[in-house]
Amino acid sequence: MQRKALGRGLSSLLREVDTTTSGLDSVTVDLIDPSPLQPRRVFPEEGLKELTDSIRSTGVVQPVLLRRSGERFQLIAGERRWRAARAAGLTAVPAIIRDLADREALELALTENLLREDLNAMEVARGYEALQQKFGLNHEEIASRLGTSRASVTNTLRLLRLAEPVQHLVASRELSMGHARALAALDSHAAQVKLSRTIVEHGLSVREIERRIALRALPARASKPAAKPDALDANMRAAVVEMERALGTRVKIVGDQSRGQIMIRYFSPEDLHRLYEWIVRR
């Protein structure tokens, strides 16, 4: 039996906290440590300063979520509020203390940040990867636990194949999630880096990048004896892009409007199972 997505459970918990102070603890900020499971790695200075100023004025409105770690406490959710509270000179913060295993702690941290859209795409990808590698969850289980779609989980994990410089651009939000997914379709890291720089320099749209990537694939098709130089017209190239977006993987058409083959790539048993479910169960 599938367990309820944590996104709903956390939302309910936070609503309770917003309406009552019963059950809250006041915890000294110096007794709180960041969690090594925290998926968030970037805390922009400007946003942190704004929150610090707000806390100086009104205090910490929403409590942080903690678990005990010996004589100290480990942050599960609310690291940004904790950092801002320290910067504002507060000695203690309101907190909810829960007894949580590592997997539950990571799931809750991911869910809170996803609900608030605080994480950049690479942080989300590494969080999913941790759930996969540390706790053995497959794509469907991650999606169910976090209240998202399996396709979204798969597409996000594909970002980890991006070249390191491209990942930095995604993490700094210079590249959008849509741009990143399009670039992940390129096998060459050098090509990813080159095209990512073009995106940043010229402000190219996701659609334009997908069009360019589709065009890049044409010479490889044309070099094969069985393929005609102009086998794929604009409509068929557009169809390839749409199929890749829907399936979350590389798609190749060999042939023309009359007949041909559609080849769908998969990169793992999880990918194959996901594609099977998507095609057969729809």
Identify the pLDDT of residue 197: 93
CA gap 119, 80 in Å, rounded: 12
Average pLDDT over the chain, rounded to whole?
79
- Asked if the model's pLDDT at residue 274 lies above 80, the reply is no
CB 219 within 8 A of CB 213: no
Q: Who wins on pLDDT, 160 or 258?
A: 160
Per-residue pLDDT reduced to its tens digit, 74-119 = 988 888 889 999 999 999 999 988 888 888 887 777 777 665 656 7
The CA-based angle 238-240-244, given to 5 degrees, is 120
Per-residue pLDDT reduced to its tens digit, 140-173 = 888 887 778 888 889 899 999 999 999 999 988 8
- The residues that bridge with 65 in the sheet, in sequence order, are 77, 96
* Single-letter residue type at 43: F
* Single-letter residue type at 18: D
- Asked if the model's pLDDT at residue 222 lies above 50, the reply is no
CA gap 83, 90 in Å, rounded: 10
Q: Which domains does the chain have, with CATH numbers?
A: 6-150 (3.90.1530.10), 217-282 (no CATH)
Identify the pLDDT of residue 15: 52
Phi-psi sector, 149: left (phi>0), alpha (psi -120 to 50), beta: beta
Q: Which of 79, 107, 112, 210 is catalytic?
A: 79
How far is C-alpha 279 from the geometric centre of its chain's CA atoms?
A: 24
Task: Please report which confidence band the pLDDT of residue 221 belongs to, taking 50, 70 and 90 as the band edges.
Answer: very low
Task: Indicate if 79 belongs to the active site.
Answer: yes
205 Cβ partners below 8 Å, 6+ apart?
Answer: none
Per-residue pLDDT reduced to its tens digit, 35-70 = 877 776 666 677 788 889 998 888 888 888 899 988
Identify the pLDDT of residue 5: 44
Per-residue pLDDT reduced to its tens digit, 3-15 = 444 444 445 555 5
Burial (Cβ within 10 Å: 0-12, 13-18, ≥19) of residue 76:
buried
CB 148 within 8 A of CB 213: no
